[in-house]
Amino acid sequence: MPILVTGGAGFIGSNFVLDWLTQSDEPVINLDRLTYAGNQENLASLANDPRHIFVQGDICDRALVDAILQQNQPRAIIHFAAESHVDRSIHGPSAFMRTNIDGTFTLLEAARDHWRNLNEAGKRWFRFHHVSTDEVYGSLTSDQAPFTETSLYQPNSPYSASKAASDHLVRAWHHTYGLPVTTSNCSNNYGPFQFPEKLIPLMITHALAGKPLPIYGDGQQIRDWLYVTDHCAAIRRILEDGRVGAVYNVGGWNELTNIDIVAQVVALLDELRPNPAGSYARLITHVTDRPGHDRRYAIDARKIEQELGWRPMETFATGLRKTVLWYLDHQDWVGRITSGEYRQWIDQNYGARP
């Protein structure tokens, strides 16, 4: 039986679809609106694969979602589609409310209708998996314990507030209507196909272009980093054996400051693509901080390890090397993205940050 993936032309969604089809013969219906962050080129290797059915469309379009569910009868929905960039949410929050909240609501309602018309076996088997973020838990001080699944929800940005709202909807659709849901709250991902406005690909592409490497504020903010295919594996495990109604925190046990991350990217580029002008470190520039910038995120991923036996396979050293090599090998992909709308975003976000 097929699965329905939303947002499968984005960074994590496309990695998930590619991974899924190397491990399973269950076809994937991929519903993606193709916003600036969606890129069908990520799925080019599936062009002749009948197991991948791409539908360009909006998760807020109830009639479309209903038709997809009716025609394909998926056994699970894996919901990635979202507006996902904190900085963009600060400049323009409304798209975040629409897709992340209204879109999740629309999907839940369509899923509920679909699910209640299934036979008993189909009802037991069906899953709605919601892909969320550790940012819903807010910011930690340096001496606080990492986030667990019972940490308070204290979102601080329009992005994290909209994801928190979507998590609450998913929870409520389970408790009120019995919809068989699972949710994962994951830390910062990195790896192939990440849109080059996020920290790691932005630093790689700027360094190669000889542009400044903009560090917000003092660069001492801490994130937990997870290689994207480890996140995909965690979602697959949850789909297989996760408890209905449960939340799982997913992370890399890998807390690093932003300045550390940039230093490691620079060291890899100095090794793999040395520049006659000297180390890329010369391009590091501190710029005005992000408003309301969360200081630290950290994930306690013991529950998913204890219940489902999932642990990350990549260390940060192995994952970052793979990532840098991928971007070095895919400069055409980067070149096609970093034109047009992307340039406007860079001007808007960094022009105002002396």
Residues 13-32 interacting with ligand NAD (rule: CB under 6 A): 13, 31-32
Query: Are 85 and 11 spatial neighbours (Cβ–Cβ below 8 Å)?
Result: no
Tokens of 27: 């076809």
CB of 179 to ligand TYD, least distance (A): 28
Determine if residue 56 is left, alpha or beta; phi over 0 gives left, psi from -120 to 50 gives alpha, anything else beta: beta
221 binds, among ligand TYD, ligand NAD, none (CB under 5 to 8 A by kind): ligand TYD
CB atoms under 10 Å from CB of 157, counted, come to 21
CB of 163 to ligand NAD, least distance (A): 5
**Is residue 300 at the binding interface for ligand NAD, with CB under 6 A as the rule?**
no
**Is residue 69 at the binding interface for ligand NAD, with CB under 6 A as the rule?**
no
User: Dihedrals φ, ψ of 274, to 5°?
Assistant: -60, 145
Q: Write out the H or E segment, with its range, that includes residue 31.
A: strand 28-32
CB of 193 to ligand NAD, least distance (A): 8
HSE, CB side, 13 Å, CA atoms: give it for residue 330: 21
CB atoms under 10 Å from CB of 325, counted, come to 13
CB of 353 to ligand TYD, least distance (A): 9
- Of 201 and 312, nearer to ligand TYD (C-beta) is 201
214 binds, among ligand NAD, ligand TYD, none (CB under 5 to 8 A by kind): ligand TYD
Strand, helix or coil for residue 196 = coil
Per the annotation, the verdict on 289 as an active-site residue is no
Query: Are 107 and 130 spatial neighbours (Cβ–Cβ below 8 Å)?
Result: no
**Is residue 301 at the binding interface for ligand NAD, with CB under 6 A as the rule?**
no
Q: Please list the active-site residues.
A: 134-135, 159
Can you give the binding site for ligand NAD, defined by CB under 6 A? 6-7, 9-13, 31-35, 37-38, 58-60, 80-84, 99, 103, 131-133, 163, 186, 188-189, 195
